[in-house]
Amino acid sequence: MSDGIDRRSMLKGSTAALGAAGAAALGSASAQAQDVASPSGTPNVNTSITLNSTSRSFAHEARVTLLDLLREQAGLPGTKKGCNEGACGACTVLLDGERINACMTLAATCDGRSVTTVEGLAAADGTLHPVQRAFIEQDAFQCGYCTSGQVVSAVACINEGHAGSEEEIAEWMSGNICRCASYPQIIAAVQQAATEMEG
């Protein structure tokens, strides 16, 4: 943004304050149990990945998940943190072309591999990926929190050849939960994109 303040840094500032107050209210036990993989922790591993077609290297704590690395160190907050336990699919990314939950993957185990996030789907000139266009045209989201995971998962679902029917799409997209229940529109979007990509 032109004034140098964006939504993300605003939110970061306010949640940091909230987090401190919350931790105090809950007591230190709760605060210690939090899974906070701070980029400020002392790095003890180096991980090199091809991230959205660009070679990147990161020094980080070994406990850092791919999800936290992407969001906190790589500056790619498009991949969302929903449940952080492999139950919602909001953090879906492609690892060597296969869809995975970034929250269930230690960043260190990705060394030498290729990662594609939702930010890497559109063409360099900004032309949206057919799946992204289909999600817009089919109105396949409401709040939008799950959407980047849905879109990345749908790209893989189509590439795998699992978009042959509504039933097959529902089964193979079941790893992405939509709490607004836009499922009929999501299935329609996957079908539309599959037709375009396979055509």
**Binding segment toward another protein, per CB under 8 A, in 51-59, 69-77, 139-147, 172-180:** 172-180
Which two three-digit tokens encode residue 136?
A: 């817009």
Please choose, from the candidates 121, 183, 179, 109, the residue with its C-alpha nearest in 3D space to the C-alpha of residue 152: 121
How far apart are the C-alpha atoms of 115 and 70, rounded to whole Å?
Answer: 10
Stretch (H or E) spanning 26? helix 7-26
**Binding segment toward another protein, per CB under 8 A, in 6-14, 71-79, 83-91, 124-132:** 83-91
Among 23, 39, 50, 63, binds another protein (CB under 8 A): 63
Residue owning tokens 């990161």: 58
- Judged by CB under 8 A, does residue 148 bind another protein? no
Q: Least Å distance between CB 41 and another protein?
A: 6
How far apart are the C-alpha atoms of 54 and 115, rounded to whole Å?
Answer: 10
Q: Least Å distance between CB 170 and another protein?
A: 7
Among 23, 122, 128, 170, binds another protein (CB under 8 A): 170
Q: Least Å distance between CB 58 and another protein?
A: 13
Among 23, 62, 122, 128, binds another protein (CB under 8 A): 62
- Which residue's CB is nearer to another protein, number 10 or number 180? 180
Per-residue x/- mask for another protein, residues 89 to 128, rule CB under 8 A? x--x--x--xxxx-xxxx-xx-------------------
CA angle 196, 181, 187 (to 5 degrees): 20
Please choose, from the candidates 92, 72, 102, the residue with its C-alpha nearest in 3D space to the C-alpha of residue 153: 92
C-alpha distance from residue 92 to each of 77, 125, 197 (Å): 12, 24, 20
Q: Where are the alpha helices (DSSP H) in 34-182?
A: 66-68, 130-137, 147-160, 166-172
- Which residue's CB is nearer to another protein, number 13 or number 97? 97
Residues 177-196 binding another protein (CB under 8 A) are none
Please choose, from the candidates 109, 134, 110, the residue with its C-alpha nearest in 3D space to the C-alpha of residue 121: 134
Q: Which residues bind another protein (CB under 8 A)?
A: 29, 32-33, 35, 37, 41-42, 44-45, 61-63, 65, 84-86, 89, 92, 95, 98-101, 103-106, 108-109, 153, 156-157, 160, 162, 170-176
